A and B are shown apart, each in its own frame.
Chain A
Amino acid sequence: MAGRVWKFGDDVNTDVLAPGIYIKLPLEDLASHCLEAVEPNFASDVQDGDIVVGGVNFGMGSSREQAAQVLKALGVAAVIAPSFGGIFYRNAFNLGLPAIVSNEIDQIAAEQELKIVLKTGVIENITTGKQLAGEAVPENLMDLVEAGGLVPYLEQKLNKKG
């Protein structure tokens, strides 16, 4: 997959991704407040296929999976960070949003174009021509990515058994 970069700092938490006071709203409305506390233009300007690059502990905090779901709803194709909040990481894959661990995000700037190979974790910075290392997505999570998330995955599994 390939896309344009939005870059954020360390510790982007679930309350800024999916603010509690809007949590009852339908997903699209909640999504319109995604990250507004740190980047007011994000929700309105992000485009399909864009890639979010964050600092350490991206998605830390609450278990609310809307934090990953709003990114997906806004068209974000993948998230890259040196480390993720553990629950966010699981949620992202469950919803079919790949999360890639990479320690080389200092080689990525906003607006650049990236190409990611999930199986190997290799990130190509198309803008600079550099190849960056990331962690390969574990096999059990690749299964989820390929199915499009946990629900379609379970659908396949339960049908097979059925």
Chain B
Amino acid sequence: MGQSIAEKIIAKAAGKKTVQTGEIVTCAVDLAMIHDSGGPRRVKPAMEKLGVGVWDPAKIVLVSDHFAPCTDAESAAILKLTREWAAEQGILNFYDQQGICHVVTPERGHLAPGMFAVGGDSHSPTGGAFGCYMFGIGATDMLGVLVTGETWIKVPETIRINWSGQLGTGLAAKDMALKMCATLGMDGGGYQAIQYAGETIRNLDMLERMTLCNMAAELGAQAGIIEPDEVTAAYVEAAGGTPGDWRDFQSDQDATYAVTHEFDATNLEPQVAAPHSPANAADVSAIEKAEIDQFYIGACTGAKLGDLKMAASILEGKKVAKGKRLTIAPASSQILTQATKQGIIEILLDAGASLLPPGCGACAGYGVGVLAEDEVCLASTARNFQGRMGASSSKVYLASPYTVAASAVTGHIVDPREVL
């Protein structure tokens, strides 16, 4: 029987020819990505207790993003500890305040097709865009990986999601992701592996593929993965990585899928998720007009170069509505550099946006730009759980960068195609 790409990667990591779904196997980890929140500050005490160091510093990528740059003495202490730990353990791949881990790691060439990777963050499935089997784990789980180089996994079933048709103008991968959340629900992925396939996916660039894989987390999947192709190989190479035998990591024709879902991009409308769940997504035309205080373009899923370009395409020559604020936190320094060179940042600032430093910012309520009690935000982030971006009575709507930017111009939620 054929194997899916997820099964092939897991089998390789487990040192086996094939694996069976449901089987529990131990896998060698090719790469462990950690950040300042779930990383050093959480694993250091236990590592000291165990009296051991990391298994292989070269296979670890450390990124400070959640508390970076710090906002108070506590977050400053967390970052200080992060830096000290990096030096102590000889972590060479340490990106301090350079952007969000899910974006920085591939951008610096650390991901390549066929890797079995873990990340100390729930949006680690983002790595699936590069043909990796990558999933999020908690700090103690990560501690296990850091000291042994291994972890266990229950071989997931693969859920295939096919997309056909062409995305319309003013639509983005975020709309596709929210549509899937609305249709399949937040446990639609059942902690299995989602494989995105079909012509729509093939036509997406890497940044958009990252958005889809990132939000496999919102579908409750362990991983989201896209079979690598020339587009993947070109990105990895340009980032300084080695695409390797990417042709080997494709699902067999006769691979078994737990279920196959079909979606059509042709008539997809921009999607907006009402508070407090991405699964509350609906066509923008069906969303109640809510009063919005803050418009936010940020996060690993919503502030990559492509996302900023989308926002700029809307905001060029326009202004943010009076009394409203548009806050933008580019996902990485590299993106900020590129966006500056390409004149994108100027367009955003001219429109009246305020710029935050690269990092997680307000996305999870850890950094700058958080919401006060009862404030309402429309964000290009991935998740809108109650109280996530600040005070527990604050509310978050989710949408694509197009929709957030267009709505910032009108002051309330609109279909971006009316503003384009």
Closest residue of chain A to B118 (Cβ to Cβ) is A63
Closest residue of chain A to B120 (Cβ to Cβ) is A63
A95 touches B387 (CB 8 A): no
Q: Is the interface of B mostly helix, strand, loop or mixed?
A: loop
Say how far B390's CB is from chain A's closest CB, in angstroms: 6
Contact with A along B39-63 (1 / 0, CB 8 A): 0001000100110100000000000
Say how far B304's CB is from chain A's closest CB, in angstroms: 20
Closest residue of chain A to B71 (Cβ to Cβ) is A24
Q: Is A56 an interface residue (CB 8 A)?
A: yes
Known: A37-B386, A85-B220, A86-B222. A65 touches B370 (CB 8 A): no
When distances are taken between beta carbons in the complex, the residues of chain A under 8 Å from B377 are: none
When distances are taken between beta carbons in the complex, the residues of chain B under 8 Å from A60 are: 186-187, 220
Interface residues of A in 19-49 (CB under 8 A from B): 19-21, 23-24, 36-37
**Range of interface residues on chain B?**
35 or more
When distances are taken between beta carbons in the complex, the residues of chain B under 8 Å from A155 are: 49-50
CB < 8 Å neighbour of B138 from A23, A37, A84, A90: A90
CA distance A60 to B190 in the complex (A): 11
Contact with A along B202-214 (1 / 0, CB 8 A): 0000000000000
CA distance A63 to B217 in the complex (A): 10
Say how far B406's CB is from chain A's closest CB, in angstroms: 27
Known: A16-B386, A65-B38. A57 touches B143 (CB 8 A): no
When distances are taken between beta carbons in the complex, the residues of chain A under 8 Å from B392 are: 19, 21, 36-37
When distances are taken between beta carbons in the complex, the residues of chain B under 8 Å from A24 are: 67, 74-75, 78, 366
Q: Is A50 an interface residue (CB 8 A)?
A: no
Q: Is B122 an interface residue (CB 8 A)?
A: yes
CA distance A84 to B50 in the complex (A): 29
Say how far A151's CB is from chain B's closest CB, in angstroms: 5
A to B CB contacts below 8 Å, 28 in the list: A15-B385, A19-B365, A19-B392, A21-B392, A36-B392, A60-B187, A61-B383, A61-B385, A62-B121, A62-B122, A63-B119, A64-B37, A64-B38, A64-B138, A65-B140, A83-B187, A83-B190, A84-B191, A85-B191, A85-B220, A86-B191, A86-B220, A87-B138, A90-B137, A94-B138, A140-B152, A150-B143, A151-B140
- For the complex of A and B, list the 9 residue pairs with the smallest distance between their C-beta atoms, beginning with the closest: A20-B365, A86-B191, A65-B138, A91-B138, A94-B140, A15-B385, A63-B122, A57-B187, A63-B136
